[in-house]
Amino acid sequence: MEKEFEQINKEMDILWTYLNKNRGYFPYVDDSSIGAKILLTPPYYRAQGINIVHTFEEPLSVEIKDEMLRIGHWINQNFIIRLCSLIESYQLISNAIKIDFTLDGAEQLNIVRRLRNRFAHSSGRYNPDNSDDFKTMELMGKHLGISIEGRTDWPLAIDTVLERLLEGCKLYAEKKLKGA
């Protein structure tokens, strides 16, 4: 089981690297960047050696900024789908294998599983009137310590959400495969 843990851990690290490299090309862009013709990759990515200069022929418009944000959100959703699929491929969970909530990381894995089902089997948009969406959002607030009040979309920030979900999934895999 030690070898399986090392293997899944390595694959999760690769998945994380790919996410960050992708997001380096489609970083979070706030309103202060509107009108800019050049954007540097945010410090979070530069600290990882991902140094990209975005050069726009025309000044950055609200429409392009919004499109970059939508693409970034879509990339983050795909990270969740791939992370859950990876965990399923190692038979840690499935339709027949339930999450063991006595293990550390189980709550984060539960959020990943719930989000994966939403993203892979629907538009991926948050619907507060959907009881499953509402419950998932509550779990995110409770177990990730993020504010969920007034949300109109899934909170998928890399540093406050995705990184914590990945850490929980790694911990769960370690406990499940190594019994540590």
How far apart, in whole angstroms, are the C-alpha atoms of residue 177 and residue 170? 10
Closest CA to 16 of 173, 176, 174, 162: 162
Q: pLDDT tens, position by position, for the chain (180 residues)?
A: 789 999 999 999 999 999 999 999 888 999 999 999 999 999 989 998 999 999 999 999 999 999 999 999 999 999 999 999 999 999 999 999 999 999 999 999 999 999 999 999 988 899 999 999 999 999 999 999 999 999 989 999 999 999 999 999 999 999 999 885
pLDDT at 2: 86
**Cα Rg of the chain (Å, integer):** 18
Cβ atoms 174, 5 nearer than 8 A: yes
pLDDT at 122: 87
Residue 173: predicted pLDDT: 97
Helix (H) or strand (E) holding 104: none
Which residues does 122 contact at the CB level (< 8 Å), separation at least 6? none
pLDDT of residue 93: 96
Distance (Å, whole) CA 158 – CA 165:
10
CA distance 132 to 9: 29
Nearest-CA neighbor of 8 among 105, 83, 59, 99?
83
CA 157-163-169 angle, to 5 degrees, is: 130
- Specify the amino acid at residue 80: I
